[in-house]
Amino acid sequence: MAISVFSHASFVYTGEGIVNKEGRMLVPDDVSAIADGAIVCDSDKILWVGKTSELPAKYKKVKAMKLKGKRAIMPGLIDSHTHLVFAGSRAHEFARRCAGTTYQEIANEGGGILTTVKATREASIEQLFELAIKRALIAYRHGVRTIECKSGYGLDHESEIKCLKVIEHLKKAIPQMTFVSTYLGAHAIPPNVKKAKYIDEMIHQTLPEIKKKNLAEFCDVFVDEGYYSHQDGERILRAAKKLGLKTKIHADEMGNTESAHLAAKLEAHSADHLLKISNKGIAALAKADTVAGLLPGTAFYLKEAYAPARKMLDAGVRVAIATDFNPGSCYSLNLPLMMNLSALHMQMNSAEIFAGVTYSAAASLGREATKGALLPGFDSDFVVLPYDRFEEMYYRMGW
Ligand SMILES: [Zn+2]
């Protein structure tokens, strides 16, 4: 296999300190920056990382890409929470909402999520793919190399399966990116259907077909006031686990339902949002492997108070940062912008922010043994930044 060498990077950020601490209680030095660094890889795995001056003789024969001390190398960014697959635009609703119409008024007129559900159901798989691939490539340009993508705008068996198939097509179309697919049938209650009937459909029809056709790795449920209850969430996720799927929860966003606690109890890979997490929820996550997936772009977009990140981090919770890209509450694929919001509004230090889009994001997707750090044996998955320090990524707001 062909070997590649990158040398004289201003810094190679290996993230080794973060890996050693499993993403908890991080201090800035845990990014493990190697000044004047080099990295050696083949097309599959990282073979060697260290100082350029210590490059082993056998790799000196390979023509190196010399970065002249001007560019830094870090693990490929991981956006661990997106709703990438949907059709339709809600730009007109956004403008009305900003002018004072409430979300509830728009929803009562059949707008909001129902606008997206209608458009997604009507779209062909080809149309959904065309939209999704453009979005994935925007994420790529922001340094994202692994992206989690949820279904959840079909809200019936056939349309949810269609959206998951789009993600399968993305995997083949962009092999430079890793796509992790999540079934979020329980995103909302479908229009004109009883919740109990829909839950039965998810458990007895959709989840078994997903398993049979290997269409998703994760199952996610929106547990919140007016959506799926704690009990509903537990039932759906236990059914998914029984089939071998991993789990996630949209937790404690609009109200507190102790769904972070449920996520820890079910050993979910992540509990996401957490704007209204309780102290009990924080204590449960601190003891668990469940990662807190924080989505500051959504709080910003909805003008809500940010998740209590500092409190979680100081309690020893592992925190990932993601875009939550979706048509209603965060129409952005700019992960570095989310890093900026995390620094400004969630008081996260540089290693916490770094881990949020690398190691901890990988852990929330069950990929921490191969992604999110630059160590021998990890995937050859890194970005050469156009900057000499990774902090430039989030110092530049929304670039
Ligand atoms: Zn979401």
Q: Is the pLDDT of residue 289 over 90?
A: yes
Instruction: Give the pLDDT confidence score for residue 107 in this predicted structure.
Output: 82
Indicate whether 324 pLDDT > 90: yes
Tens digit of each residue's pLDDT (9 = 90 or more) over 329-348: 999 999 999 999 999 999 99
- What is the per-residue pLDDT for 231? 96
Query: pLDDT above 90 covers what percent of the chain?
Result: 96
Please report the pLDDT score of residue 109 as a whole number. Answer: 87
What's residue 108's pLDDT? Answer: 84
| Interatomic CA distance for residues 248 and 373, integer angstroms | 23
Tokens in use for 212? 């049979």
pLDDT of res. 306: 98
Residue 154 has what pLDDT?
A: 98
Digit-coded pLDDT (tens) for 28-46? 999 999 999 999 999 999 9
> What's the gap in Å between 279 CA and the centre of ligand 1?
22
83 CA from centroid of ligand 1 (Å): 6
Residue 110 reports pLDDT greater than 90: no
- Cα of 368 vs centre of ligand 1, distance in Å, is 21
| Predicted pLDDT at 335 | 98
State how far the Cα of 124 lies from the Cα of 333, in Å rounded to an integer. 23
Report, as an integer, the average pLDDT of 272-279.
98
User: In the 8-state DSSP scheme, what is residue 142?
Assistant: T
Mean pLDDT computed over 249-269:
96
Joined tokens for residue 188? 């909302």
Per-residue pLDDT at 364 exceeds 90: yes
Instruction: Say how far apart CA 311 and CA 399 lie, in whole Å.
Output: 29
Q: What's residue 140's pLDDT?
A: 98
Alpha-carbon gap, residue 323 to 243, rounded angstroms: 29
**Cα–Cα dist 220/274, whole Å:** 15
Average pLDDT over residues 52-71: 96
User: Is pLDDT at 1 greater than 80 in this prediction?
Assistant: no
- pLDDT, tens digit (0-9, with 9 covering 90-100), for 208-255: 999 999 999 999 999 998 899 999 999 999 999 999 999 999 999 999
Strands 73-75 and 382-384 come out as: antiparallel
Dist. CA 333 → ligand 1 center (Å)? 13
Return the closest-CA partner of residue 388 out of 5, 56, 122, 8. Answer: 8
In Å, the largest CA–CA distance within the chain is: 69
| Rounded-to-integer distance, Cα 318 and Cα 388, Å | 27
| SS3 label, residue 366 | coil
Residues 6+ apart with CB under 8 A from 182: 148, 149, 150, 151, 216, 217, 218, 219, 220, 248
Give the DSSP H or E segment for 221: strand 218-223
* Token pair listed for 181: 């697919």
- Average pLDDT across the chain, whole number: 97
Q: How far apart are the CA of 322 and the centre of ligand 1, in A? A: 9
pLDDT band at 88 (very low <50, low <70, confident <90, very high): very high
Q: State which amino acid sits at residue 386.
A: P
CA–centroid distance, 371 to ligand 1, in Å, is 22
Kindly list the protein residues that place their beta carbon closer than 5 angstroms to ligand 1, a single-atom ion: 324
| 146-166 confidence digits (pLDDT tens) | 999 999 999 999 999 999 999
Domains along the chain? Answer: 4-75+378-390 (2.30.40.10), 77-364 (3.20.20.140)
Question: Is the Cβ–Cβ distance between 252 and 225 less than 8 Å?
Answer: no
Distance 90 CA to ligand 1 centre (A): 16
121 closest CA partner among 83, 166, 87 = 87
Expressed in angstroms and rounded, the spacing between residue 164 Cα and the centre of ligand 1 is 16
Residue 21: is its pLDDT beyond 80?
yes
**Distance, CA of 158 to CA of 151 (rounded, Å):** 12
Residue 14 CA, ligand 1 centroid: distance in Å: 29
Q: Quote the ligand 1 centre to 295 CA distance (angstroms).
A: 8
Question: Rounded distance, CA 107 to CA 99, Å?
Answer: 16
Residue 26: how many other CB atoms lie within 10 Å? 25
pLDDT of residue 246: 98
Asked whether the predicted pLDDT for residue 126 surpasses 90, the reply is yes
**Please, which residues bridge with residue 82 across strands?**
325
**Strands laid side by side in the 178-186 sheet:** 77-79, 144-150, 178-186, 218-223, 246-251, 270-273, 291-294, 319-321
CA 386 to ligand 1 centroid distance, Å:
30
* Token duo for residue 169: 């097509």
Distance 33 CA to ligand 1 centre (A): 32
pLDDT, position 111: 87
- Distances from the Cα of 134 to the Cαs of 121, 165, 174, 333, 367, in angstroms? 19, 16, 11, 11, 25
Count CB neighbours of 251 within 10 A. 33
User: Would you say how long the chain is, in residues?
Assistant: 399
Cα angle 179-185-188, degrees, rounded to a multiple of 5: 120
